[in-house]
């Protein structure tokens, strides 16, 4: 059989004789008609088996073929607006079906399964329509971010995963025995990117990041993917401009290239269409004031308690949720208290209790998707902060060097891929935005 096509491109082949290679997603039938929903990784299409059109034994075998059996379908592409699966409505009038492997009884059936069961079978669950749509969306998000940065002149650098020092606080380090020495899995590639900018100007790294987070929330994973751009001669304002342009570009690309996936996910795309610059910018002080006001005005006793906010604390998920509800697109909160943030952040001029930090919060209650800052560029100030945070100066020797040789104002941010995808897709928990999620309670499969 020839003319193997992918389901995604089926519209180009109306009237032609084609072959689809894939797996049986579902089937129904009655009498002389059998309908096979076939998926090939690019989409799902219906193959219509009309008994007189196929060899007798092929029709009979297809009737009893279990879900997830591997097969090829040969036939003629027809347009049929009512056909399920591919957007636009296409189906295949089958003339031949070849079974490649007869599947054993498949554990994931169209009935409702509990999420723990599905996570235990994640290696199979990814074949389901919604998971398929989500992970394709994730791939588009990752490609769009890279494309935007590449066209803006950023150079991709890889940063090490085995690291001798903590980048984001010592409480969430995964320890590794490195031939008798204690080292850690990377929490961030930022510190290395701060070295990279002095060689390349604008850089980014993109890879897995590890945090021994004890938080069992819908936003936390122990392994997640982070994109981290870093820019020389860039201050906090410049950083926010870059962030809002990149995130807007990514969302618009998803709308363009993942219309079908977003439809499968039943995402309300009108909220995504509004994601264009500029994003609202609120100082931490203003944000605290707003949250205080929401708290004072709410009649919900439970919420009132959750919205308790003391100056100096980072925001929790209820604070972010209520704050972002007031805006129709992502927003920035900048100028957090120094005590709530990492050691390397530049102090606010004349207000050392505040630092030049910025978080981007996604709307609809999704909360923080990026965290960034202007970095300390002065050697003595950085030394002081390392001592205040009781970090081992020896491990930061090379990082301090960057403040000795041509130090300049520079800034960068980190974007969490799973949180960003969860927001764009409109799903509840970040773990489904990863093919094989790692969370507090799970490292299998």
The partner in contact with residue 432, picked from Mg ion, ligand 4AD, none with C-beta cut-offs of 5 to 8 angstroms by kind, is none
Q: Which of 43, 318, 337, 372 binds ligand 4AD (CB under 6 A)?
A: 372
The partner in contact with residue 228, picked from Mg ion, ligand 4AD, none with C-beta cut-offs of 5 to 8 angstroms by kind, is ligand 4AD
Closest CA to 46 of 13, 11, 89, 110: 89
Rg (CA), the chain: 26
The Cα–Cα gap between 377 and 232 comes to: 11
The Cα–Cα gap between 262 and 87 comes to: 12
Cβ closest to ligand 4AD, residue 68 vs residue 228: 228
Q: Which of 38, 173, 185, 221 binds ligand 4AD (CB under 6 A)?
A: 221
Residue with CB nearest Mg ion? Answer: 371
Q: Which of 68, 91, 261, 368 binds ligand 4AD (CB under 6 A)?
A: 368
Sequence-ordered strand ranges (E) for 80-153: 90-101
**Smallest separation (angstroms) from Mg ion to the CB of 359:** 6
**Smallest separation (angstroms) from Mg ion to the CB of 368:** 6
Structure tokens at 219: 């936003």
Which residues contact residue 297 at a Cβ distance below 8 angstroms, ignoring those fewer than 6 apart?
A: none
Cβ closest to Mg ion, residue 85 vs residue 167: 167
What's the first-to-final CA gap in the chain, in angstroms? 37
The conformational region for residue 384 under phi > 0 = left, psi -120 to 50 = alpha, else beta, is alpha
Q: Does 369 bind ligand 4AD (CB under 6 A)?
A: yes
The partner in contact with residue 190, picked from ligand 4AD, Mg ion, none with C-beta cut-offs of 5 to 8 angstroms by kind, is ligand 4AD
Q: How far is CA 364 from CA 16, 67, 116, 131, 239, in A?
A: 45, 37, 26, 21, 24
The Cα–Cα gap between 374 and 355 comes to: 8
Q: Does 247 bind ligand 4AD (CB under 6 A)?
A: no
Q: How far is CA 193 from CA 73, 144, 154, 383, 407, in A?
A: 50, 21, 12, 19, 14
Q: Does 149 bind ligand 4AD (CB under 6 A)?
A: no
The partner in contact with residue 213, picked from ligand 4AD, Mg ion, none with C-beta cut-offs of 5 to 8 angstroms by kind, is ligand 4AD
The partner in contact with residue 226, picked from ligand 4AD, Mg ion, none with C-beta cut-offs of 5 to 8 angstroms by kind, is ligand 4AD
**Smallest separation (angstroms) from ligand 4AD to the CB of 410:** 11
Q: Which of 40, 91, 168, 320 binds ligand 4AD (CB under 6 A)?
A: 168
Cβ closest to ligand 4AD, residue 99 vs residue 155: 155
Closest CA to 250 of 134, 153, 148: 148
**Smallest separation (angstroms) from Mg ion to the CB of 341:** 8
Residues 38 and 4 sit within 8 Å (Cβ to Cβ) = no
Which residues contact residue 215 at a Cβ distance below 8 angstroms, ignoring those fewer than 6 apart?
A: 440
Q: Does 416 bind Mg ion (CB under 5 A)?
A: no
Q: Does 226 bind ligand 4AD (CB under 6 A)?
A: yes
Closest CA to 148 of 53, 251, 74: 251
3-state secondary structure string, 323-345?
A: HHCCCCCCEEEECCEHHHCCCCE
Residues 383 and 341 sit within 8 Å (Cβ to Cβ) = no
**Smallest separation (angstroms) from Mg ion to the CB of 212:** 16
Cβ closest to Mg ion, residue 367 vs residue 371: 371
Q: How many residues bind ligand 4AD (CB under 6 A)?
A: 23
Q: Which of 190, 321, 324, 434 binds ligand 4AD (CB under 6 A)?
A: 190
**Smallest separation (angstroms) from ligand 4AD to the CB of 269:** 22
CA angle 426, 430, 433 (to 5 degrees): 80
- Cis status of the peptide bond prior to 278, with omega within 30 of 0: yes
**Smallest separation (angstroms) from ligand 4AD to the CB of 26:** 34
Handedness of CA 399, 400, 405, 408 (dihedral sign): positive
**Smallest separation (angstroms) from ligand 4AD to the CB of 227:** 9
Q: Which of residues 384-423 bind ligand 4AD (CB under 6 A)?
A: 412-414, 416, 418-419
Structure tokens at 378: 């002065």
Q: Which of 40, 68, 91, 228 binds ligand 4AD (CB under 6 A)?
A: 228
Q: Which of residues 361-400 bind Mg ion (CB under 5 A)?
A: 371
From the list 60-68, 235-243, 246-254, 365-373, the region that binds ligand 4AD by CB under 6 A is: 365-373
Residues 91 and 66 sit within 8 Å (Cβ to Cβ) = no
From the list 8-16, 251-259, 364-372, 398-406, the region that binds ligand 4AD by CB under 6 A is: 364-372
**Smallest separation (angstroms) from ligand 4AD to the CB of 177:** 23
Structure tokens at 300: 């919900």
**Smallest separation (angstroms) from ligand 4AD to the CB of 24:** 35
Hey, how many other C-beta atoms are within 10 angstroms of the C-beta on 121?
Answer: 15
Q: Which residues bind ligand 4AD (CB under 6 A)?
A: 167-168, 188, 190, 211, 213, 220-221, 224, 226, 228, 368-372, 412-414, 416, 418-419, 430
């Amino acid at each position: 059989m020839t003319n193997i096509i992918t389901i995604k491109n089926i519209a180009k082949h109306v009237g032609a004789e084609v072959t689809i290679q894939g797996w049986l997603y579902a089937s129904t039938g009655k009498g002389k008609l059998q309908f096979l929903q076939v998926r090939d990784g690019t989409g799902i299409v219906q193959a219509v088996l009309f008994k007189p059109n196929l060899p007798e034994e092929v029709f009979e075998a297809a009737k009893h073929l279990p879900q997830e059996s591997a097969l090829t379908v040969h036939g003629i592409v027809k347009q049929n607006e009512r056909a399920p699966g591919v957007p636009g409505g296409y189906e295949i009038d089958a003339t031949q079906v070849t079974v490649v492997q007869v599947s054993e009884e498949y554990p994931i059936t169209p009935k409702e399964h509990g999420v723990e069961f599905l996570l235990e079978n994640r290696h199979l669950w990814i074949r389901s329509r919604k998971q398929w749509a989500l992970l394709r969306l994730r791939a588009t998000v990752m490609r769009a971010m890279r494309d935007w940065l590449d066209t803006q002149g950023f150079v991709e650098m890889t940063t090490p995963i085995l690291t001798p020092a903590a980048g984001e606080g010592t409480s969430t380090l995964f320890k590794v025995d490195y031939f008798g020495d204690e080292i850690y899995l990377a929490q961030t590639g930022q510190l290395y990117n701060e070295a990279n900018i002095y060689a390349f100007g604008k850089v980014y790294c993109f890879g897995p990041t590890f945090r021994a987070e004890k938080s069992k929330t819908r936003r936390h994973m122990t392994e997640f993917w982070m994109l981290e751009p870093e820019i020389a001669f860039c201050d906090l304002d410049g950083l926010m401009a870059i962030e809002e342009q990149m995130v807007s570009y990514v969302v618009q690309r998803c709308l363009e290239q993942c219309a079908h996936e977003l439809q499968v996910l039943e995402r309300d795309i009108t909220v995504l269409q509004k994601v264009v610059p500029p994003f609202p910018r609120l100082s931490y002080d203003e944000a605290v004031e707003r949250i205080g006001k929401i708290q004072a005005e709410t009649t919900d006793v439970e919420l009132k308690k959750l919205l308790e906010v003391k100056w100096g604390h980072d925001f929790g998920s209820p604070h972010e949720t209520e704050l972002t509800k007031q805006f129709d697109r992502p927003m920035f909160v900048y100028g957090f208290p120094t005590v709530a943030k990492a050691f390397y952040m530049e102090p606010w001029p004349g207000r050392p209790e505040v630092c030049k930090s910025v978080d981007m919060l996604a709307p609809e209650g999704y909360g923080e998707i990026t965290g960034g800052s202007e970095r300390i560029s002065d050697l003595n100030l950085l030394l002081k902060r390392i001592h205040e945070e009781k970090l081992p100066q020896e491990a930061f020797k090379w990082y301090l060097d960057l403040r000795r040789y041509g130090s300049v104002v520079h800034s960068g941010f980190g974007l969490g891929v799973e949180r960003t995808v969860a927001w764009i897709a409109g799903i509840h928990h970040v773990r489904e935005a990863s093919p094989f999620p790692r969370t507090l309670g799970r490292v299998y499969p």
